[in-house]
Structure 1
Amino acid sequence: MTKTTQLRTYTVRDGLFDEWVERWREEIVPLRLKLGFAIAGAWADRERNQFIWLISYDGPESFAERNALYWSSPERSAMGLNPGAYLVAAEERTVESVR
């Protein structure tokens, strides 16, 4: 498979930005890494209440297949984390390096 990278932009509900970032760092990132994803960076645009990050996967399955594994994993279920409780909107774009 070819490496797939997604640029994800989340608009976070008012008053929940720091809590979202903490849960992302402590719960989402470790599981994503365990499942073979790479996180190239994350940024806060506090003026717009947006959280932006780059996630990629370069393995035997497609990004979509590996992402489905993430969402169906027991570890993900155990988080008790409903993105809708934190996010007003989510945009995902597949991007490629042009270096």
Structure 2
Amino acid sequence: MPKTTQLRTYTVRDGLLDEWVERWREEIVPLRLKLGFTLGGAWVDRQHNQFIWLISYDGPETFTERNALYWAAPEREAMGLDPDHYLISTEERTVEVAY
């Protein structure tokens, strides 16, 4: 399958941005990497209380299939991390490299 990259923008609940970033770094990132995803960076937009990141997958399955594997992983369940606790909204855009 060709490489798929998503630009994800999360609007985080007031007062939880730093906690979200810490949990993302410590819990989500290691599992995503273990499952073959690559991360192109992550940014915090404090003015808009947003967390923005790039995630890619370039493997034998589609991005959607691999993402479903992430969500079904026992390690993911063990996190006890409910995104709805932190996130007001999410936007995912599939993007291509232009430069």
Please give the range of the TM-score, normalised by the shorter of the 2 chains: over 0.9
Q: Does 1:86 align with 2:89?
A: no
Q: What's the TM-score once normalised by structure 2's chain length?
A: 0.99
* Residue 57 (structure 1) aligns with: 57
Q: What's the TM-score once normalised by structure 1's chain length?
A: 0.99
Measured against aligned partners, the alpha-carbon deviations of 1:35-63 in whole angstroms (never above 9, x if no partner) come to: 00000000000000000000000000000
- Work out the percentage of aligned pairs sharing the same amino acid: 78
Query: Which residue identity does 1:49 align to in structure 2?
Result: N
* Residue 73 (structure 2) aligns with: 73
* Residue 9 (structure 2) aligns with: 9
How far is 1:88 from its partner? 0.3
Question: Alignment RMSD, CA only?
Answer: 0.3
CA distance in 1 between partners of 2:48 and 2:87 (Å): 13
Alignment coverage as a number of residue pairs: 99
Which ranges of 4 or more aligned residues in structure 1 deviate by more than 6 Å? none
Structure 2: segments with no counterpart, 5+ residues: none
CA distance in 2 between partners of 1:33 and 1:95 (Å): 20
